[in-house]
């Protein structure tokens, strides 16, 4: 059985990765429906899937290469600025549109959410602890899948294809209402941005993790909680 599975992974590594990413992430969905887990997905499932596929296809060298790119930090200060400030700009713009153009009314103030000072510890908690935020999706989707998709494809076409797959991976979150269905469009758009960052930072997974964490910290853990009901939608 294991030998047959290994052959399938070697023959179809990218498909195997995506199937495993879903299986290793969605197993908590039934438990969530019984109120036994806080979320219907396991955020580090794609990372585990990448490790399995790399172990079969490239062995220790492939796993070490991925782990090194997770801690690749020498990429230039401007890319840190992009990773940390671009989500800020996008989130602030989205909140302004929500209030001034769509007429949303904040139901909670920043002070009631712990103030702006709470953003820093929240950022590091989501970045460092697998499963609490989306950061640990990145070693799988950006660290493994994106380079595979970019073989023989342009960065744009590869990132768009990955964006669709990434949106499908969010299916349990859409069905359970934890995320809005229209966020699938944002996911595809963000995938293009992540690819641009990834390709300009020597394949640094760390920078992708930081940008993902900053986006989740601001939008998911802060601004979205300032609105309720229909106003909470992007």
Containing domain of residue 105, as a range?
69-232
Which of 179 and 70 is assigned the larger pLDDT? 70
pLDDT bracket for residue 106 (50, 70, 90): low
Each residue's pLDDT tens digit, 83-100? 999 998 988 887 777 665
Residue 46 structure tokens: 């794609």
Residue 230 is predicted with a pLDDT of 45
Residue 213 structure tokens: 């964490």
CB neighbours of 224 closer than 8 A, spacing ≥ 6? 232
Q: Is the dihedral of CA 160, 168, 212, 151 positive or negative?
A: negative
CB 231 within 8 A of CB 98: yes
CB 165 within 8 A of CB 172: no
Residues in the chain: 234
CA angle 14, 215, 42 (to 5 degrees): 50
Q: Within a domain: residue 3?
A: no
Structural domains of the chain, count: 1
Each residue's pLDDT tens digit, 109-150? 555 555 566 788 889 999 999 988 899 999 999 999 999 999
Residue 94 structure tokens: 């989205």
Q: Within a domain: residue 204?
A: yes
């Amino acid at each position: 059985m294991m030998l047959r599975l290994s052959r399938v992974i070697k023959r179809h590594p990218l498909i195997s990765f995506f199937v495993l990413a879903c299986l290793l992430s969605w197993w908590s969905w039934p438990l969530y429906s019984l109120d036994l887990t806080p979320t219907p997905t396991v955020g580090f499932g794609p990372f585990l899937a990448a490790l399995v596929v790399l172990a079969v296809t490239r062995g220790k060298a492939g796993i070490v290469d991925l782990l090194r790119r997770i801690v690749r930090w020498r990429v230039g200060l401007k890319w840190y600025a992009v990773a940390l400030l671009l989500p800020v700009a996008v989130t602030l713009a989205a909140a302004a549109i929500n209030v001034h153009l769509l007429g949303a009314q904040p139901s909670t103030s920043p002070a009631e959410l712990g103030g702006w000072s709470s953003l820093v510890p929240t950022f590091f908690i989501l970045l460092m602890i697998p499963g609490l935020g989306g950061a640990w999706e990145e070693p799988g989707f950006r660290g493994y899948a994106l380079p595979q998709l970019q073989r023989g494809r342009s960065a744009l076409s590869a990132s768009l294809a990955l964006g669709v797959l990434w949106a499908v991976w969010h299916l349990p979150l859409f069905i359970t209402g934890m995320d809005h269905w229209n966020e699938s469009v944002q996911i595809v758009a963000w995938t293009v941005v992540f690819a641009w960052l990834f390709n300009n930072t020597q394949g640094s997974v760390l920078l992708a993790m930081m940008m993902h964490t900053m986006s989740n910290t601001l939008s998911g853990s802060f601004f979205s909680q300032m609105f309720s009901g229909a106003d909470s939608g992007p």
